[in-house]
Structure 1
Amino acid sequence: MKKMLLMASVLMAGTLLAGCTNNHILHMNDGRTLVVQGKPQVDKATGMVLYTDENGKQQAVNQADIKEMSALDK
């Protein structure tokens, strides 16, 4: 019984943590749309937005090139 409760707790915790990392959409000024993993981070010193693309590769784009940034609903 304790093992079942422990397994259920671990499964639920993993599901909740996975739900916290929503993908985001970047609508660019040139008409492109980028789907990114997780929430992009803004580097205020350089003005670049850092994100992970759909292939898991780190990318950066100038903040001035982004028209709109929004969370992708699941």
Structure 2
Amino acid sequence: MRSKILLSSLFAAATLMTVASCSSNQAVRTTDGKTIVTDGKPEVDSDTGLVSYKNAQTGKTEQINQNQVKDMSELDN
């Protein structure tokens, strides 16, 4: 229980720090309840069904299946 609270707190702090550093971040919410903060707007490839984004926390470009994305929205600063 403590580890879940600690992990949630660390994720929230990292998300807030990331949001504060960049004005164009987006939140990608997945069907399994996770929230991914992206640096810039994710790109949707309709041919492959993949959503490409730069992970704001790690700086790496990643992809996720479009059917795993619940919604995407711009974060307010």
AA aligned to 1:27 is R
Using structure 2 for the length normalisation, give the TM-score.
Answer: 0.67
Bigger Rg over Cα: 1
Aligned-pair CA distance for 1:47: 0.4
**CA RMSD in angstroms, aligned pairs only:** 1.4
Work out the percentage of aligned pairs sharing the same amino acid.
Answer: 42
Using structure 1 for the length normalisation, give the TM-score.
Answer: 0.69
> Structure 2: which 5+ residue stretches go unaligned?
1-21
> Structure 1: which 5+ residue stretches go unaligned?
1-18
- The whole-number CA distance in structure 2 between the counterparts of 1:67 and 1:59 is 17
Q: Which of 42, 49, 52 pairs up with 2:51?
A: 49
Large movers: runs of 4+ above 2 Å:
none
Identify, as 1 or 2, the structure richer in strand. 1
